[in-house]
Amino acid sequence: MDKDINTFCMRLKEWFAWHFPEMTKIVNDNTIYAKLVNVLGANRDNVTDAFKDEIQSVTLDEDKAQQIIDAAKISMGMDMNETDQLQVKKWAERVTELIEFRESLSAYLKDRMNAVAPNLQALIGEIVGSKLIAHAGGLTNLSKYPASTIQILGAEKALFRALKTKGKTPKYGLIFNSTFIGRAGLKNKGKISRYLANKCAIASRVDCFSEAPTAKFGDSLKMQVEERLKFLASGVKPRKNKDAMSEVLAELKADGLFYGDKVKVTKVADSGDEDNGDAEVPEKKRDKKSKDKKDKKQKKPKEEETLEEDSEVEQAKKSKKRVKA
């Protein structure tokens, strides 16, 4: 859809530039340009001081609105017929409708990703995250994939072609659209894609298997990727994953969203007396396997002692036979 909107805006600029060529230099954004043409009715004569407020509401800049009004007064463009103006206006209306539809779609996608996979959205963005989920066939399937599969997800053709021709395998697939890989240097793109795929695997598993998912894990993982980029660029040592995750778990414990492995159970007396003693869950009994292993370890030195005694007896017998002979 982005590609279609860009091509339609370029065509609109090409047509309206014959009538008002100065506006293309003042307004560089395609969406603002299309909305301006729609507001002005594809007619340069409507650009007057009375329309300043409407132009300013579209451009969101008072100086640009004044520049457009001043340029319309001394414009070198040719005049347009009413039929041509009507066609250009219809085209501008259709382009603005497409832009509004794209904005509504992006808002809906952001809300859905925030509800389904908030950590993956916080890490890699809603667009790339939704592409990964769609290509994998769901969040559950994506959470089951290893990091190496997520790294080349979307580049299957290049992978099988490389395996067939014994060439170089691809370094990245859909995650190439992430901003992290674009910011990395040419030599470090493969390292960052591998690291980012690892963090995407962690985020997808947290989103899939947690009962009340939050975006705090995704924010922490994003900070780790930022630190890795700094490490590859300047050599600043990043944090360990264990330290980063422990900080997030401490925040969740403070908010009451995570209780740890040992859950505290409060006991209340039946008679009505309040006993607020907190009792920890008792540890599990040791398995029989661990006992058997300990018994075997204890038996081993005894067996070694008996073998040594037998060897000493045999040597004594051999020495006696030699003396008799």
**Residues 20, 54 share a domain:** yes
> Residue 273: in which H helix or E strand, if any?
none
Global pTM value? 0.65
> Phi, psi at residue 73, to the nearest 5°?
-70, -30
Same domain, 243 and 225: yes
Please classify residue 258 by burial: count the beta carbons closer than 10 Å to its beta carbon, then call 0-12 exposed, 13-18 middle and 19+ buried. middle
Q: Considering 47, 80, 110, which residue would you say is the last residue of a domain?
A: 110
Q: Are residues 25 and 105 in the same domain?
A: yes
What per-residue confidence (pLDDT) applies to 44?
79
Instruction: Please indicate, yes or no, whether residues 137 and 163 belong to a single structural domain of this protein.
Output: yes
Asked whether residue 24 is domain-assigned, the answer is: yes
Question: Of 84, 110, 136, which marks where a domain is finished?
Answer: 110
Angle between helices 189-209 and 216-234 (to 10 degrees): 170
In the numeric block, the tokens 């900080």 are attached to 247
SS3 content of the chain, % helix, strand, coil (to 5): 70, 0, 25
Q: Which domain holds residue 74?
A: 2-110
Confidence (pLDDT) at 78: 82
Three-state DSSP state, 265: strand
Whether residue 170 sits in one domain with residue 71:
no
Largest CA distance in the chain: 136
Q: What is the pLDDT of residues 167-218, one digit of tens each?
A: 888 888 888 888 888 888 888 888 889 999 999 999 999 988 888 778 888 8
Chain centroid to CA 283: how far? 38
DSSP letters spanning 187-208: TTHHHHHHHHHHHHHHHHHHHH
Is 80 among the domain residues?
yes
Cα–Cα distance for residue pair 261/13, rounded to 1 Å: 63
Is 313 part of a structural domain of the chain? no
What's the pLDDT at 201? Answer: 92
Question: 306 lies in a domain?
Answer: no
Q: What is the mean pLDDT of residues 99-110?
A: 89
> 278 pairs with which residues across the strands?
266
In angstroms, rounded to a whole number, what is the distance separating the alpha carbons of residues 271 and 200?
Answer: 53
Say whether pLDDT at 324 is over 70: no
Contact 117, 133 (CB under 8 A): yes
Question: Is pLDDT above 70 for 294?
Answer: no
Same domain, 78 and 180: no
Does 272 score more than 60 pLDDT? Answer: no
276 Cβ contact partners less than 8 Å away, ≥ 6 residues apart? 266
